[in-house]
Amino acid sequence: MAKIHPTAIIEDGAELGEDCVVHAHAVITRHARLGDGVVVHPGAVVGGDPQDLKFDPAVDSRARIGSRTVLRENVTVNRATAAGGETVIGADCYFMTCAHVAHDCVLGDHVVLVNNVMMAGHVHLGSFAFIGGGAGFHQFTRVGESAMIGGLARISLDIPPFVMAAERDEVVGLNLVGLKRRNFSREVIAELKDCFREVYFDGGNIRLRAQEVLGRGVKSPEARRFLEFFSGGRRGVARARRIWSTEQEASAEAP
């Protein structure tokens, strides 16, 4: 049974799973679908209309929140723009205060958004992505699984899986801490390091470099997902910093 605190607003037509908790002054619109165990803190709004000047409020669309996801104070998740469309948040996510997920975004499981993350429409985040506070995302950008985005970063290009990015679309190395937390084997991490070096350190077109490396064959599905990411998307893929110090290269290659 869901627990609804006084002054929370649950519109007719909203769907709440088992053991959801909706705190005071939160708003769950009729367009929201919450999985089991979702927690919505004060001031959060789930399923609000898109911030799109052309949007017709009569459109029937949704915002879907996966099981056990936590939305802290004043988080906003807008519904999709197209009839029958969904803004999708995965399971076991944690969104900190004032994070905003715009219309038609798709986020995987175990995603963390720190305070004041700003996400435009149609952004895709892979599972286990970690987004630092105040980071902003251009519409239609993609961020791969287990990527880490630094606080206050400005992301207008795609960020591959398993990497760290900061500032303005700057890839700065592999997310080794995130890889170890997911208990990837030393062999998988070593292969990802090799793929990263070949794509980013050898110069030239990084999309073509990724295709070449993939064409020679890789052992792990993680390395394959890293390389295949470069062939998709609409925004282009972020490059590494132009000047790499000895310390940065050592960090990228560290065991």
Give the integer Cα–Cα distance in Å for 238 and 229.
Answer: 12
Could you give the count of Cα atoms lying within 13 Å of 215 in the half-sphere of its Cβ?
Answer: 8
List the pLDDT tens digit at each of the 255 positions of the chain.
Answer: 899 999 999 999 999 999 999 999 999 999 999 999 999 999 999 999 999 999 999 999 999 999 999 999 999 999 999 999 999 999 999 999 999 999 999 999 999 999 999 999 999 999 999 999 999 999 999 999 999 999 999 999 999 999 999 999 999 999 999 999 999 999 999 999 999 999 999 888 999 999 999 999 999 999 999 999 999 999 999 999 764 444 445 444 554
Give the end of a domain, one of 161, 178, 195.
Answer: 178
Same domain, 57 and 166: yes
CATH of the domain at 106: 2.160.10.10
Give the end of a domain, one of 178, 199, 232.
Answer: 178
Same domain, 80 and 138: yes
Q: What SS3 class is residue 212?
A: helix
Alpha helices for the chain (secondary structure H)? 176-181, 186-200, 206-216, 221-228, 246-253
CATH of the domain at 219: 1.20.1180
Same domain, 133 and 222: no
Same domain, 43 and 168: yes
CB of 117 closer than 8 Å to CB of 134: yes
Active site residue 103: yes
Question: Cα-flanking dihedrals φ and ψ of residue 183, to 5°?
Answer: 60, 35
Give the integer Cα–Cα distance in Å for 89 and 101.
Answer: 9
Same domain, 199 and 219: yes
Active site residue 121: yes
Same domain, 111 and 173: yes
The single residue of 35, 47, 108, 121 carrying the catalytic annotation is 121
Same domain, 28 and 80: yes
How many distinct structural domains can be found in the chain?
2
The single residue of 37, 104, 132, 144 carrying the catalytic annotation is 104
Give the integer Cα–Cα distance in Å for 248 and 116.
Answer: 29
The single residue of 23, 41, 100, 103 carrying the catalytic annotation is 103
Same domain, 153 and 190: no
Same domain, 150 and 226: no
Give the integer Cα–Cα distance in Å for 80 and 5.
Answer: 27
CB of 34 closer than 8 Å to CB of 17: yes
* Burial (CB count <10 Å: 0-12, 13-18, 19+), residue 56: exposed
Instruction: Please tell me the pTM assigned to this model.
Output: 0.93
Closest CA to 136 of 89, 178, 102: 102
Same domain, 95 and 203: no
Give the end of a domain, one of 178, 210, 241.
Answer: 178
User: In the prediction, which pLDDT does 243 show?
Assistant: 45
Give the integer Cα–Cα distance in Å for 96 and 41.
Answer: 10
User: In the prediction, which pLDDT does 21 show?
Assistant: 98
Same domain, 119 and 37: yes
CB of 116 closer than 8 Å to CB of 151: no
What is the number of residues in the chain? 255
Active site residue 104: yes
Same domain, 162 and 215: no
Domain extent for 34: 3-178
